[in-house]
Structure 1
Amino acid sequence: MVSDLSLSKNVCVIGAGPSGLVAARELRKEGHKVVVLEQKHDVGGQWLYEPNVEKEDLLGRNKFLEGRVCGHVDYGDQFKQDLKWAVKSRAEENDGNYKEVEEVFDAVVVATGHYSHPLMPTIKGMDTWKRKQMHSHIYRVPEPFRNEIESLEQDGRVVFADGSQVTADTILYCTGYTYTFPFLDTKGMVSVEDGGRVGPLYEHTFPPSLAPSLSFVGIPRKIIGFPFFESQAKWIAQLLSGKRRLPSWDDMMLAIKEFHQSRDAAGVPKHKTHDIADFEYCDRYADHVGFPHLEEWRKQLCLSAIVNADANLETYRDSLDDHDLLQEAFQSTHFTPLLGVPDFTV
């Protein structure tokens, strides 16, 4: 059942990965008009496998429109709900050319995830090193590197801190990812510290000065992602339709301050601010919108995968023995198998 159309908002969702798609669905269910912008050729985000990476930036850096792609039309009166957003996008036409389009939205949901922009180290000589450098973000298969090294020459030396050195043809950076929103202009009201602390964000979702007209889905890591993203999407959609209300600006900022202080006191680096790893937090978040808590089988499957991955990262996906938990999952009303229910009796 959708809400009263009089409360319908024009909403732009940036990103068509898992978090963006569920955001679009929940917004539509609440009666909002939704436009989803995606820079790739299809939906899916990181689940969209792209075998041909020859045309990509070898360091995995995505290209966005320059300038204020997503900026304010009007800040409104002390950040009330009459805030508007001007969003510029590029659409490919039949002749292969691109046409720039500008639209105005009541709200923007940023759902670009946390695996879209690689975190690059700063190493002396990176800019002048003559051979290939790439990030694991675009690594697919090992064949391109087979039989490439013919001899060891000084031109390709890599010197380590302990004085040891190797000769390499390629440097492959497996240094993780950072949050970045080059398309978003918030006049400094949302920033990224040390590549990993996005904020200020109330409950990892809402910037107090701009909520609910601006929100983020998919920022937290080390959680059972899809149910959590669905909780986020429901909360955003219901806030925009007037079914729910956020705390006051002061209360949200206080909650953010206390959370950051707790992370700092625990010695958590800023770039891991949004690493949650807490089932109870996911359940508390779900309470905001009356979403079901994580089922026990889902928690156990998650813990089992972590234990198996620690034991054998290369083959744990093929060696799991969780048939009982999977059978329980398939019987759950909150689980929909995409390819049918497998037969575990064989």
Structure 2
Amino acid sequence: MVFDDGVVADGETPEQWKKKKNVCVIGAGMSGLAAARELRREGHAVTVLEQAGDIGGQWLYTDDAGDGDGDTPAASVHSSMYASLRLISPRESMGFTDFPFFPVSGDGRDPRRFPGHREVFLYLNDFCHAFRLLDAVRFNTKVIHVAAMAGDGGERNWAVRSVRVVDGGDGDVEEVFDAVVVATGHYSQPKLPRIKGMESWKRRQLHSHCYRRPEKFRGEVIVVVGAGDSGKDIAIELTGVAKSVHLAATDRDAAMSPAMRKLLAKHTNLHLRPRVEHLGDDGAVVFDGGERVVADTVMYCTGYVYSFPFLDTGDEVAVDEDGSRVGPLFEHVFPPALAPSLSFVGVPKKVPAPWFFEAQGKWIAMVLSGKKSLPSPEKMMIAVEEQYRARAVAGVPVKCTHELGGVEPQKYIEFGEKYCDFPRFEDWKREIIVSALKKRDDDDMETFRDRVDDDSDYVRLCLQNWYSSSPAQDQRLSVDDDDAHPPLAQTAMAALALN
């Protein structure tokens, strides 16, 4: 690999890095599929290793939550989706650049502007069929070890060891690749708070990773720890079955938005509480300031940690003790000492998906083929350290290292354009995302998804263009006749009529 200043990585010649690569992508979720498509477009040979029996990653829903009621331990359940989950961003902002997330008619499809999780899964299936990606995916294959090794010509290769997870497996299989792209997501390993009394509290405790449906909590007193997106969403759902729901926020004043006030007035069994101070032996949950309730269940909606247990790189790239930072990563993608043969897709949070994953995948693919170059390892490391310092000075906590949308939105908007000639994220799409979240926080958390009559004139015009002149008009899904959907352009125009 030749860097910007002419440095050649690991003694490799420029000719070595101009040839097409044999690349392993770990994970067939949204980010892995985006990367695989971009790598193939660049001519690389791609093998996607996926531990589940289907594509989708987080969007592959399972009722088995791994909380003791099913057959699967929580640690081995990848998806954190609950049954009622719907998007908080409108579908128009969520599609691949050349395969928009148009409504599709037919049984089991969800044409709403903010559809449920299954519609995203079906859309990803449509994407796979349209771009013939399934032949690259090896299902039921869990990666257990990834380590660098010297290739025959002195270049860095990667030994990837995997095992089949069905039918007892066939033992470990080791394969050698020119490059590895890690695309395993970051919403699978629960992050638990440190609360006094957690270890000895004898009533039910679970993380939202293990939540699926509200019925089992009927008649209970429930404390939901964490007032983020999932905490508020689940708390609202639980009010329909629980005796009372107590939503504990780190900052109660900040959580008391206009929409929260409306919610508390509507649901008399919902209460906003301050941070949990400790759990008592008598079943009590004591909040800061001395408020207390005796609860049946404590549910932790406290986020997730990054975890790559299969990755063996010494100290070249690692997850910090808190699980919040993966590093060092140049632009959240390349570890300086191991670039470009090791890369990550999908690490950043609060970015438009899958658009951002496409841009990352295209950048990786072009760097691997020699069409784009990276700064030298030293310069990449300096850039990472400067980013850490700048964020610290700005008061951004380490746990937000990989958050872009709420911290550096312009950075994600311009990312693809800057590094791989990928079109920037369109202003109107960002407007409809911001508008939806504003309606949720300032007006009504329960109905904001179903209010589509207050788009600006600019957005309305862009939506008309999106539906009527998208390149996807001329696409047809490459699926068997028995499974075929109506042409995407046809369903798009039908959606316009509905609006």
Q: Above 0.5 in TM-score?
A: yes
Paired residues, number: 336
Question: Which residue is 2:148 aligned to?
Answer: 72
Normalising by structure 2, what TM-score?
0.61
Q: Identify the match of residue 142 of structure 1 among 206, 210, 214.
A: 214
Contact 1:60 1:117 in 2 (8 A): no
Question: Which residue is 1:98 aligned to?
Answer: 169
Partner Cα separation in structure 1 for residue 191 and residue 215 of structure 2: 25
Partner Cα separation in structure 2 for residue 200 and residue 168 of structure 1: 42
Q: Does 1:301 align with 2:432?
A: yes
Which range is displaced more, 262-271 or 167-176? 167-176
Within 5 A, what are the aligned runs for 1:196-235? 196-235=324-363
Look up the SS of the partner of 1:258 in the other structure: helix
Alpha-carbon distance, 1:148 to partner: 5.2
Q: 1:67 to 1:335 in 2, by over 3 A?
A: closer
Q: 1:256 to 1:145 in 2, by over 3 A?
A: same
Look up the SS of the partner of 1:236 in the other structure: helix
Alpha-carbon distance, 1:298 to partner: 1.2
Within 5 A, what are the aligned runs for 1:148-159? 155-159=282-286
Question: Which residue is 2:62 aligned to?
Answer: 50
Q: 1:338 to 1:106 in 2, by over 3 A?
A: farther
Partner Cα separation in structure 1 for residue 331 and residue 281 of structure 2: 51
Which range is displaced more, 204-213 or 188-197? 188-197
Contact 1:61 1:118 in 2 (8 A): no
Alpha-carbon distance, 1:334 to partner: 6.3
Q: Does 1:343 align with 2:343?
A: no
Question: Which residue is 2:387 aligned to?
Answer: 259
Which range is displaced more, 188-197 or 67-76? 67-76
Alpha-carbon distance, 1:55 to partner: 3.1
Within 5 A, what are the aligned runs for 1:224-303? 224-277=352-405, 278-287=408-417, 288-303=419-434
Contact 2:23 2:178 in 1 (8 A): yes
Contact 1:8 1:31 in 2 (8 A): yes
Normalising by structure 1, what TM-score?
0.86
Give, as a single letter, the amino acid of the residue that structure 1 aligns with 2:51.
Q
Question: Which residue is 1:167 aligned to?
Answer: 294
Q: 1:92 to 1:154 in 2, by over 3 A?
A: closer
Instruction: From the two aligned structures, give the one with the greater helix fraction.
Output: 2
Alpha-carbon distance, 1:58 to partner: 4.6
Contact 1:73 1:84 in 2 (8 A): yes
Look up the SS of the partner of 1:225 in the other structure: coil
Q: Does 1:121 align with 2:193?
A: yes
Which range is displaced more, 52-61 or 107-116? 52-61
Structure 1 regions of 5+ residues with no counterpart?
none
Contact 1:14 1:38 in 2 (8 A): yes
Q: Identify the match of residue 30 of structure 1 among 18, 24, 42.
A: 42
Partner Cα separation in structure 1 for residue 185 and residue 342 of structure 2: 15
Contact 1:297 1:329 in 2 (8 A): no
Structure 2 regions of 5+ residues with no counterpart?
1-15, 80-140, 222-241, 244-279, 474-487
Q: 1:190 to 1:105 in 2, by over 3 A?
A: same
Give, as a single letter, the amino acid of the residue that structure 1 aligns with 2:34.
V
- Give CA deviations for 1:22-76 in whole Å, capped at 9, x if unaligned: 101111111211111222221111222222322344578759x999611223399
Look up the SS of the partner of 1:343 in the other structure: helix
Look up the SS of the partner of 1:180 in the other structure: coil
- Of the two structures, which has the highest relative contact order with CA contacts closer than 8 Å and spacing of 6 or more? 2
The sequence identity of aligned pairs, in percent, is 48
Partner Cα separation in structure 1 for residue 201 and residue 151 of structure 2: 46
Q: 1:234 to 1:332 in 2, by over 3 A?
A: farther
Question: Which residue is 1:13 aligned to?
Answer: 25
Look up the SS of the partner of 1:39 in the other structure: coil
- Give CA deviations for 1:101-125 in whole Å, capped at 9, x if unaligned: 2211111111112212221112233
CA RMSD of aligned residues (A): 3.2
Look up the SS of the partner of 2:396 in the other structure: coil
- Give CA deviations for 1:170-203 in whole Å, capped at 9, x if unaligned: 2211001111111111101112233222111111
Contact 1:205 1:217 in 2 (8 A): yes
Q: 1:235 to 1:105 in 2, by over 3 A?
A: same
Give, as a single letter, the amino acid of the residue that structure 1 aligns with 2:495.
D
